[in-house]
Structure 1
Amino acid sequence: MAYAAIYIRVSTDEQAEQGYSIDAQKEKLIAYCISQGLNDFKLYIDDGYTGTNMERPAFKRMIRHVQEGKISTVIVRKLDRLSRKQKDVMTIIEDIFEKNNVTFTSTTELFDTSTPFGKAMIGVLAVFAQLDRDMIIERTTMGRRQRVSNGKWYGGRIPFGYNWNKELQQLEVNREEARIVTRIFEMYSQGESRLSIAEWASSRTNARAIDHSVIRDMLKRTIYTGKLKNAGELVDGIHEPIIDHQLWERVQIETQKRNDGSSPKGEYLLTGLLKCGVCDGNIVHVKRVTNVKNKTYSYELYACKKQHVRVKERNGTCNLGYFRREKIEQFVIDQIKQLSTSPSKMKAVIDKGKEPSNDEQDLIHLEAELKKVSKSLENLYDAIESGDLKASSVSDRIRNLEEKRDNIENDIDEYIDGNQKETDEKTIKKMFTDIGQAWDYFDEDEQKIALRKLIKYIVLQKDSSPHIEWFFS
């Protein structure tokens, strides 16, 4: 025999609201059933679930029982307990309840689903339920943006590496966790896989469960650099950064390389650092064995992945060719040693890195334009002050110039925020010198780590020596 289903839902945010607690809803709904002679009833309770989606265990179980014919009527305290989305409410009532001959009752909203007017009332109430939800979202979003615009953390789960100071209302660095965060970024920039980093981090802390996906998300969080995201824009936070700008940049470059198909630090010295100068593809390691006059010769080569496939599988026309592995690796090692022992060559490379890029040329243009606009405004102000012009006659022109000046200043600020390359020449020289002098004493893993500190990419070129793109160039 079919029974009445009492559905109760309360979200985490509603726990403290009067009339919304689980016990309050249960008491009133059971009393309602008894008063209506519905003594055969069953409770379906979702504790701590939002009404913005239908992925709720008790709700899904109730719907299954409706479709199995076990339920004759569904009773809630308020329509928005079913859902806060108008579309979902109408789908539940029309496509599930009505099709299975199940009536629906809200004890605080009087309507009869068997009449056209009752159905219309449900539609109206569902609209207001969604409106209430949208207003909550809007208020929350506005409050969040206001906090972030003032450099304050927007809330949520406290990022690993920080504690929350309730009195000061700001994040404070947890030194023990911060050391782990810094090491995570360093290990990734040195070519370690996310899985191996997660295993290492998990052995160092019990504060959080850390797996490779947590590492992935952590490496993307600008909060560790002292920045916060506000509607897609980066703003300065009032909290102390854990990661410096240079390490952040190395990690983002490493991430891009892996997204492009490069491997983490692997079996070979230059794994993940090579790319094709013909088609910009990834480089693979190739082993070849030949037999000549009863003698076996083994060769290890580097080749473009797009070229080193069967002819019928080739998608392009890459003809980079094949390079002896030992020659390419020795070339790179020689370049590092030469720079480490030649201050003039190192200075030339560093100075080349300081040459204005296209973006920097844009900055120069913006600064010149700002100077021009500011001069025009000064001339107009001077003319008004001297009485040569009436303010009313040039007010529109002044307003347009002021808007233009503000826009240019914003563009300049955005450029500066996004291009903070703090190249310390002494630090670079010392790093090269130290690595060059110690290279022959490094084991293979130490050599791989050293290379990733110095090099972004090594571009193999068809008819010339490889081109090395250094981190500071």
Structure 2
Amino acid sequence: MTMYNAAIYLRLSKDDGEEGKRESNSITNQRNLLRAYAKDRLDLKIIDEYIDDGYSGATFVRPSFIKMMEDVDSGKVNCIIVKDLSRFGRDYIESGRYIQKIFPAKNIRFIAVNDNYDSITADTAESHLVLPVKNFVNDSYCRDISTKVKSSQQIKRKKGEFIGAFATYGYKKNPKKKNSLIIDERASLVVKLIFNSKLEGYSNQGIATKLNELGYLSPLSYKQDNGSNFISGFSNGIDSKWNAKNVGRILKNKVYIGILEQGKRVKINYKIDKRIKASESDWIVVEDAHEPMISKDVFERVQDMCNRDLYLNERTDNPHLFSGMLYCKDCGSSLIRRANKYKGRETVFYICSTYNKKKECTRHSIKQEDLEKVLVDTFNYYFVYTTNLYEKIVELRLQQVKEEDFASHDEKLIRLESSAKKYRALKSALYDDLKEGIIDENEFARFRTIYTIKTQDAEIAIKKQEELLTKVLENIRNAESYLRKLETFKEIKKVTRNILISVVDKILVSEDKDLEIVFHEQEEHAYLEEILASYNNKKILKEAI
């Protein structure tokens, strides 16, 4: 009698059916069944067991299976026992390759207990007909489970439910509702510090250096410190620190403004665990999925700052006053900082970066002290102007003027909607003109193209104007808080980085040192003025009548 050194192979996937079925397939039950089977057979000696708990049968890239095959190759094992074919694997092609080709070639006995299959007693019909059918059924089951899981995940994503294994840094899973995120108060302070530091002009590396010096744990270390079994593909070792990359990922992540973007990576198919990037059009995006910790206004400004060239102090990584704010009015390039020292006095000035590198533009040179003098006066005027504007808004709201009343005075939107309506009517009338012989087919085609383009242009302009109106109405709603903010900037004597980034988008410098200051919400404020003027004119006209 030939003695076999047997290995019992045990596997359980997270996707193996409902709770009742999971219990019947449990590792403990599989072990008891296989050991009882081997105990009754004198030619089987169990020398080891190999367990893949939590691994799918769709792939054979499993740690214990690989170790078992290494022991097969070394001669330690010459018999493999499994509960049934589905525990061995659910990929019918790979399962068949092992059972019908690899194992016979290596002289390995294979036993699937519940399928009543033993390779040394099986006939040709069993090996070449019954087994492939059973393997195909197992493969189909795996494919069906994969489809159901994907479908379930898609439904949850579309409902705005978070299905990731670990919450994004700054959030934690709601213990009362596991598929929703709530703010992690400790980590959120760091996230806010990162965004504020970016607005102040710090580079990503500068922010990382600052966080490491302050002793804040990186996202990986923070999760591990909180007991999460978290492994990041971006980590650089156990002693993970803040770096420019993990800071950059936080600054770009819309989760911090309450938007969930899921489905960014997808599996190639149910048999391969490799994931690839999904097209952005296939992402599932849900707004207001959870409480934001960063305002949309701050987030948008940070995205703008991320796209700017910030020239920083090499020794401290601290931002200079005008870092990322000055641009050449002619070529659009950023201005770079230069400093000259003469007789112990430092003079700071800025010049066009294109001129500095290629001499393809002109210097556009301007001293920092001249900039500051101009800006102090300009800012004080701007704060008076915006204060008066919002005080008028508050006054009208006290007079019970509603949002829809403001919106009804958007003359530009009224003109655009009238224009779109006119071109739709003209396009519609072309069919009657063609039918009555007023125009021929060539003229019909030409005019139809013209009116289609005109209509589309008007619709695009309407959409843009409506988006602007939405922002303006939000400003009207928040007029009181805007006034409180303006109070903090009253009669400034000196330009600070905080004031600069709070109100200015960018500053354009011409060759003759003229400045064009582009303020945040400049378009909204001009729009507000137009609406107020229209409202007052109609009110005066109504009173006169």
Shorter-chain TM-score tier = 0.5 to 0.7
Matched, 1:243 2:284: no
Name the structure 2 match of 1:140: 149
- Deviation track 1:217-266 (CA, whole Å, cap 9, x = no partner) reads 54444444333347634334464333322123233334444xx8988964
Residue type of the partner of 2:9?
Answer: Y
Q: Give 1:148 shift.
A: 4.5
With 154-163 and 26-35 compared, the bigger mean Cα shift is at 154-163
How far apart, in 1, do the equivalents of 2:312 and 2:488 lie? Answer: 27
User: If the length of structure 1 is used for normalisation, what is the TM-score?
Assistant: 0.61
C-alpha deviations, 1:389-436, integer Å up to 9, x for none? xxxxxxxxxxxxxxxxxxx9xx979x969x868556776677577458
In structure 2, do the counterparts of structure 1 residues 172 and 115 end up closer, same or farther at CA, with 3 Å as the change threshold?
A: same
- 1:108 maps onto 2:114 in alignment: yes
Deviations 1:63-82 (A, max 9, x none): 43344444323333344445
Note if contact 1:274-1:460 (Cα within 8 Å) is conserved in structure 2.
Answer: yes
Tell whether the 8 Å contact from 1:366 to 1:412 is kept in structure 2 after alignment: no
Match of 1:75 among 74, 81, 87: 81
Letter in 1 for 2:63: P
Amino acid at match of 2:299: W
Distance change (3 Å), C-alpha of 1:57 and 1:216: farther
Q: Deviations over 1:109-147 (max 9, x none)?
A: 447599586356555445444433343343334334434
Letter of the 1:340 counterpart: N
CA spacing shift, 1:31–1:167, aligned 2, 3 Å: same
CA shift, 1:95, in A, is 8.4
Counterpart of 2:54 in structure 1 is 48
Structure 1 pair 117–148 and aligned structure 2 pair: CA distance change class (3 A): same
Q: Structure 1 residues 167 and 270 mapped into 2: Cα distance closer, same or farther (>3 Å)?
A: closer
What's 1:185 paired with?
A: 195
Cα distance change, pair 42–182 in 1 and its aligned pair in 2 (3 A): same
Q: Is the 8 A contact 1:341 1:433 kept in 2?
A: no
What residue number does 1:327 align with? 367
Aligned to 1:118: 127
1:340 to 361, 367, 380: 380
Is the deviation greater in 138-147 or in 326-335?
A: 326-335
Contact conserved, 2:256 with 2:293, CA < 8 A, in 1? yes
- What is the aligned counterpart of 1:225 among 243, 246, 257? 257
Query: Where does residue 4 of structure 1 map in the other structure?
Result: 6
- Runs of 5+ unmatched residues, structure 2: 229-239, 263-281, 391-411, 425-458, 523-545
CA contact (8 A) 2:158 2:284 kept: no
Say whether the 8 Å CA contact 2:10–2:30 is kept in structure 1. Answer: yes
Structure 1 11/332 Cα, relative in aligned 2: closer, same or farther at 3 Å? farther
Mapping for residues 382-401 of structure 1, pairs under 5 Å: none
Rounded Cα–Cα distance in structure 2 between residues aligned with 1:348 and 1:64: 80
Mapping 1:33-432, distance limit 5 Å: 33-36=38-41, 37-51=43-57, 53=59, 56-85=62-91, 89=95, 100-109=106-115, 110=117, 112=119, 118=127, 123-154=132-163, 156-159=165-168, 160-166=170-176, 171-173=181-183, 175=185, 178-192=188-202, 193=204, 195=208, 196-197=210-211, 201-202=216-217, 207=226, 212=242, 216-229=248-261, 232-237=283-288, 239-257=290-308, 266=318, 268-273=320-325, 319-320=360-361, 322=363, 324=365, 327=367, 330-331=370-371, 334-335=374-375, 337-343=377-383, 422-423=474-475
Percent identity of paired positions between Structure 1 and Structure 2: 20
**1:107 maps to amino acid:** V
CA distance in 2, matches of 1:33, 1:329: 89
Question: Within the alignment, does 1:472 sit opposite 2:521 as a pair?
Answer: yes
CA contact (8 A) 2:57 2:142 kept: no
The letter for the 2-side match of 1:472 is E
Whichever residue aligns with residue 341 of structure 1, its letter is Y
SS in 2 for 1:75: strand
Does the C-alpha gap of structure 1 residues 86 and 420 become closer, same or farther in structure 2, counting only changes over 3 Å? Answer: farther
Partner of 1:26: 31
| Paired amino acid for 1:320 | C
Separation in structure 2 between the aligned mates of residue 345 and residue 68 of structure 1, nearest angstrom: 84
Q: Matched residue of 1:108: which SS?
A: helix
C-alpha contact 1:340 1:432 (8 A) present in aligned 2: no
Distance 2:167 2:512 in 1: 53
Contact 1:173 1:242 in 2 (8 A): yes
Q: Which moved more, 1:40-49 or 1:97-106?
A: 97-106
CA deviations 1:334-357 (Å, max 9, x no partner) are: 33651233457769999xxxxxxx
Change over 3 Å in CA distance of 1:190–1:241 after alignment to 2: same
| RMSD over aligned Cα atoms | 5.6
Q: How many residue pairs were aligned? A: 411
Q: Deviations over 1:362-401 (max 9, x none)?
A: 999789869999xxxxxxxxxxxxxxxxxxxxxxxxxxxx
Contact 2:311 2:337 in 1 (8 A): no
* Contact 1:456/1:470 (8 A) holds in 2: yes
* Aligned residue in 2 for 1:382: none
In structure 1, what is the Cα distance between the partners aligned to 2:387 and 2:69?
72
Partners in 2 of 1:371 and 1:35 — Cα distance? 91
Moved more, 205-214 or 10-19: 205-214
Which structure has the bigger radius of gyration?
Answer: 2
Q: Residues 299 and 222 of structure 1: is their aligned pair in 2 closer, same or farther, counting only changes over 3 Å? A: closer
Whether the 8 Å contact between 2:96 and 2:132 is mirrored in structure 1 is yes
Residues 8 and 25 of structure 1 are in contact (CA less than 8 Å); yes or no, is this contact kept in structure 2?
A: yes
Shift of 1:43: 1.4
Amino acid at match of 1:227: I
Q: Is 8-17 or 199-208 further displaced after alignment?
A: 199-208
Rounded to whole Å, the distance in 2 between the matches of 1:161 and 1:76 is 43
